[in-house]
Structure 1
């Protein structure tokens, strides 16, 4: 097994193509950069932010989602909100139900408190069914639903979500709808629109706006449901104040910015798919991908070796082992909301890979 490089080591490699984290690396809108500079000049970094986030930002997040009657709590990245959900509600949960592949941390957060965790295998299609969840769910569970699915890129359609919501209602279970990548998806449906009384929606600024290092996200829910978390917030001194200023600026120019980002993402996904098809090695698992990434099947036991070989060409991609104990050794994930020059470098490097037996 090849040891994964540390992010700190990677930061010391100028010119690296960062295609191993699902974040946007395009030049940000000037309004976002100016908001950060203005906040710095005014030394707002010396201040605490409101515990639940600036009211203007909370309003813009709810408006962006289109969830009338909901409220938002601004958190230290979407992961900060997920951690608080899984730990604050742990004593009320009988089980956490999630998927493999998926994002492992919510299960680990809940498991730390002793809550049992069950995973449903969704490889290679990338979607669970209500019947699949029903095999492991108990009354009073928490369904952690990633949609679009990181790392495969599949999106649930409305009928599939309606069936999962029916199961949640029947078992008096909660749903966390992790729709971190919804800004890249076509035809996305919010679970909170179907099940407002039992859904927490997580929101991220790392992906579509590229504020990953500033650590800013949100949890959105009906006020009575959100109050179960915010009565004792995980960070009563508020999320990064400069990041909130940048996020407000980003949301005010979201439409033209998102058009640019989505166009770049689609173009780069096509480059990655073409590179794998013409090389004769690897194949994209889910197409179209509704995230800012694609997953490429490379064969059992090859994922980490492929990533190590690509890194030799200054292209950083991730093995599926991070997100799938069952199938992760056979696929890699390639982030695509990046400069086209990086995607083209990926294509050149991929063509030089040796095909292992």
Structure 2
């Protein structure tokens, strides 16, 4: 045989990318978007201090990044009031989800998640041969009771929960999540994906003992800190679990430029507070735009708003296509009934005005089609 001999598992998988990025769409369309408000990036941008730190570190880019992420781990530990042994840094939450899946999921192992939740996690599970067991959303929120009930039935290695949720923007109160942790079956690990927690109301994040072996919390610099392109994520968990990442992670996976930027961003909490305020104002603006068009915006604890288009998924897909045709990049949930919505990221007024101008045209075209 000429060429690589793939494993049976890899040979059985489709060639796929979980998300079709705006750059890919722009290449296919032959022109740029006017408003890039679909990937939940922080259009408000990173801290100027982070930009300056990354610019300065570019002169040192001939060096590998610190394989231990020492300074950033120490700073994150101090920020969260935990020990450095409770912190692992990696290439975004996506990278950490891949490492964690590799650590615990063997072919045939059960994994529980919600139908329509973050698809990149499912991609990693499939890549290591895990078997996904999905429960539906309830009232546009992840159903905590159903997740635990399914976990009791199938004894999964992992249970995935995003709070606040992507793609709906909804959230559960801290007490409900803390209670869920106490119900995690023996031998299972709850992934609490808190990528959007910086945008949530104060008090939404539960207090969880960082040494609790039943849960690992994942955070990122991609959202509130405005550094999606730098690929910096981290997790908080029990020391034994955090230490296990060293068995399989890419020890030089972190760019020293990204490390420097994340450290400076963490130190600039004033900028984060400013972004939080801008996002809150933009959420209100999106809700008003929806109402002006006879649509309803779902309550959001994130930097995006899910807008109910008032019909089914086919209609929402037509609305999305008409927005894209008019150079407005947005996305939508994949699974019914959540796919009746489009999902629009918060942004400065220039982008919000472009969306406000274009949405009535897109709705009219979708209704005519």
Q: TM-score range by the shorter chain?
A: 0.7 to 0.9
CA distance 1:315–1:96, shift in 2 (3 Å): same
CA distance 1:69–1:190, shift in 2 (3 Å): farther
C-alpha separation in 2, matches of 1:85 and 1:51: 18
Q: CA deviation at 1:222?
A: 1.9
Alignment of 1:219-298 (within 5 A): 219-233=235-249, 235-254=250-269, 256-280=270-294, 282-285=295-298, 287=299, 289-298=300-309
C-alpha separation in 2, matches of 1:347 and 1:319: 17
C-alpha separation in 2, matches of 1:268 and 1:13: 26
- Residue number among 333, 337, 342 corresponding to 1:332 in the alignment: 342
Q: CA deviation at 1:143?
A: 0.9
Alignment of 1:121-140 (within 5 A): 121-137=136-152, 138-140=154-156
8 Å Cα contact 1:82-1:106 kept in structure 2: yes
Q: Which residue in the other structure is 1:38 paired with?
A: 56
Alignment length (residue pairs): 342
C-alpha separation in 2, matches of 1:128 and 1:271: 29
C-alpha separation in 2, matches of 1:103 and 1:252: 29
C-alpha separation in 1, matches of 2:235 and 2:210: 17
User: Do residues 342 (structure 1) and 356 (structure 2) align?
Assistant: no
Q: Which residue in the other structure is 1:176 paired with?
A: 191
CA distance 1:199–1:69, shift in 2 (3 Å): farther
Q: Deviations over 1:131-171 (max 9, x none)?
A: 44313543353111101001111222133223321221x43
- Secondary structure of the residue aligned to 1:145 is strand
CA distance 1:66–1:308, shift in 2 (3 Å): farther
8 Å Cα contact 1:129-1:164 kept in structure 2: yes
Q: Deviations over 1:4-62 (max 9, x none)?
A: 6752343774562111011111243221111111011x2x2222112232x12112223
- Residue number among 1, 9, 21 corresponding to 2:39 in the alignment: 21
Q: Which residue in the other structure is 2:3 paired with?
A: none
- Secondary structure of the residue aligned to 1:309 is helix
Give the unaligned 5+ runs of structure 2: 1-18
8 Å Cα contact 1:303-1:320 kept in structure 2: no
Q: Which residue in the other structure is 2:7 paired with?
A: none
C-alpha separation in 1, matches of 2:90 and 2:21: 28
Q: Which residue in the other structure is 2:11 paired with?
A: none
Alignment of 1:196-207 (within 5 A): 196-207=212-223
TM-score, normalization by structure 1: 0.88
8 Å Cα contact 1:275-1:351 kept in structure 2: no
Alignment of 1:309-328 (within 5 A): 309-321=322-334, 324=335, 326-328=336-338
8 Å Cα contact 1:32-1:246 kept in structure 2: yes
Q: Which residue in the other structure is 1:113 paired with?
A: 128
Q: CA deviation at 1:99?
A: 1.1
8 Å Cα contact 2:26-2:33 kept in structure 1: no
C-alpha separation in 1, matches of 2:158 and 2:91: 22
User: Do residues 71 (structure 1) and 86 (structure 2) align?
Assistant: yes
Q: Deviations over 1:308-337 (max 9, x none)?
A: 21123332110222xx3x43542111111x
Q: Which residue in the other structure is 2:5 paired with?
A: none
- Secondary structure of the residue aligned to 2:342 is strand
Give the unaligned 5+ runs of structure 1: none
8 Å Cα contact 2:45-2:227 kept in structure 1: no
Q: CA deviation at 1:236?
A: 1.8
8 Å Cα contact 1:45-1:242 kept in structure 2: yes
CA distance 1:190–1:239, shift in 2 (3 Å): farther
Q: CA deviation at 1:76?
A: 1.1
